[in-house]
Amino acid sequence: MKILGLIAVMLTGSLLLYATGDFPAWSDPASPAHRHVSPHYIEHSLHETAVPNIVTAVLADYRGFDTMFETTVIFCAGVVCFFLLRRPKRSPHREWQYRHVATGITVRVKDPGKKPPALKEFERIDTLWTPHDLIIETACRILIPFIQLFALYVIAHGHHSPGGGFQGGVILGASVILLAISHDLRTALARMSEEIHAVLCSVGVLIYAGAGALCMVLGFNFLDYGALAHILHVDPVTARSHGILIVEIGVGLAVMATMVWIYSNISSKGNYDEGL
Amino acid sequence: MIWQLDLIILTLVVLSAIGAVAVKDLLGSAILFGAYSFMMCLLWAIMGAVDVAFTEASVGAGVSTVFFVAAVFRTTRRTKD
């Protein structure tokens, strides 16, 4: 079976390599892709959308419908992870482990029936992942605000430089994941609970689709941001630029919430109690 | 485009791809997959597709590696085959 698989992979690979010979040369100006739509984007995207970064203009305006369903795919991934992994009932505990905050001594409580009282001097730690490092915790605590600031910059500055909703949303989600890794999952969930993940995930897609539907209500095509000119009190070209920013914020929210949602489901086996 | 740099990165892409499939340790496989993503990111940046490189670096090399490590943490570290 293994040899059969290897032969199939080799055949497909060599076919693909053979097919690349028919491709036009790299950056060939006479290739079909560079003849029909690309000149229009390069020549007209700046005065049609007021966005200097052509990639953002194509992604969120000319091909906005495509990007909306990409966001929907990410939303579906989060929801599927939730339905596959989430266990509504918490698994019964056999023991709890606590750490004395001042001295760092670990205390193990073996009492299956009773839950120990919440004390300020003791903080709960995971039974599987016990090492505690002050340097990592402090370094991550200093680092996380800057990562989040950079993520907001990436989302807001996607009009002028590489970046946008997807990248910024992933970086924003990664900062929350870093908090979960450096402390524990409960610390991250105390700041951003499961309900917020689910709500933000849907709100992001709703902002995107809502911006499109609003244009339709105002008598234009779906996702034709020029319609927002009357609401935002700007000329139609600037309205397109603002419309792109609105949908990028929607994408960023959806992607951030989905990343954290998937991570907390995977790392805690779906019971949201003890995670990586 | 410097062809020597291109060749080195392409070799590393192929090596890390083969390594990610061949290694028995799944944690090592996840890390090799992250290295593969990072090398692809460098290739995109060399070809001038900076937006794609940015996405590859944040999604491929960053978050998906974390997902793989979390999945390995919750399952097993050794493969059966």
The pair of structure tokens assigned to A134 is: 């002050």
Q: What average pLDDT score do residues A83-104 get?
A: 76
Collapsing DSSP to helix, strand or coil, A67 comes out as helix
Q: Summarize pLDDT for B55-70 with one digit per residue, the tens.
A: 999 998 889 999 999 9
Using pLDDT thresholds of 50, 70 and 90, give the confidence band for residue A270.
confident
CB contact under 8 A, A276 and B70: yes
Please tell me if residue A55 touches chain B, with a CB cutoff of 8 Å.
yes
pLDDT in tens, A194-251: 899 899 999 999 999 999 999 989 888 888 888 888 888 888 888 888 999 999 999 9
Cβ–Cβ < 8 Å for B54, A167:
yes
| Shortest Cα distance, chain B CAs vs residue A169, angstroms | 10
Cα–Cα distance measured from residue B53 to residue B42, given in angstroms and rounded to the nearest whole number = 7
> Does A245 contact chain B (CB < 8 Å)?
no
Q: SS3 for A124?
A: strand
- Kindly state the average pLDDT of the residues A127-153: 87
CA distance B79 to chain A (A): 15
Smallest Cα distance from B58 to chain A, Å = 6
Residue B39 has a pLDDT of: 93
Query: How many Å apart are CA A125 and CA A98, to the nearest integer?
Result: 6
Amino acid found at A35: R
Q: What is the DSSP letter of B16?
A: H
Helical (H) or strand (E) element with A32: none
Cβ separation B74–A266 shorter than 8 A: yes
A166–B59 C-beta distance less than 8 A: yes
Q: Chain A interface, mutation test: which of B10, B27, B63, B69, most A Cβ atoms within 10 Å?
A: B63
Q: How far is Cα A85 from Cα A178, in angstroms, rounded to an integer?
A: 21
Q: pLDDT (tens digit, 9 = 90+) per residue, A3-14?
A: 999 999 999 999
Residues of A in contact with B53 (CB under 8 A): 162
Over residues A31-56, the mean pLDDT reads 85
Q: Do B51 and A181 count as a contact with CB atoms less than 8 A apart?
A: no
Among A122-131, A259-268, B15-24, the range scoring the smallest mean pLDDT is A122-131
| Residue A13: predicted pLDDT | 94
| Helix H or strand E encompassing A162 | none
For chain A, what is the total number of helices (H) and then of strands (E)?
10, 3
Q: Does A269 touch chain B (CB under 8 A)?
A: yes
Q: What is the pLDDT of residue A112?
A: 61
Strand partners, A97: A108, A125
Q: Are A208 and A243 in contact (CB under 8 A)?
A: no
User: Which A residues 159-218 touch B at CB under 8 Å?
Assistant: 162-164, 166-167, 170-171, 173-174, 177, 181
Q: Which residues contact A139 (CB under 8 A, 6 or more apart)?
A: A182
Strand partners, A106: A99
Pick the residue with more confidence: A108 or B5?
A: B5
Overall size of chain B counted in residues: 81
Q: Measured between CB atoms, does A155 come within 8 Å of chain B?
A: no
User: Best of A42, A58, A170, A271 to disrupt the B interface by mutation (most B CBs within 10 Å)?
Assistant: A170
| Residue from A98, A123, A259 nearest A192 by CA | A259
Q: Does A276 touch chain B (CB under 8 A)?
A: yes
| Chain B positions in Cβ-Cβ contact with residue A269 (cut-off 8 Å) | 74
Q: CA nearest B60 in A: which residue?
A: A170
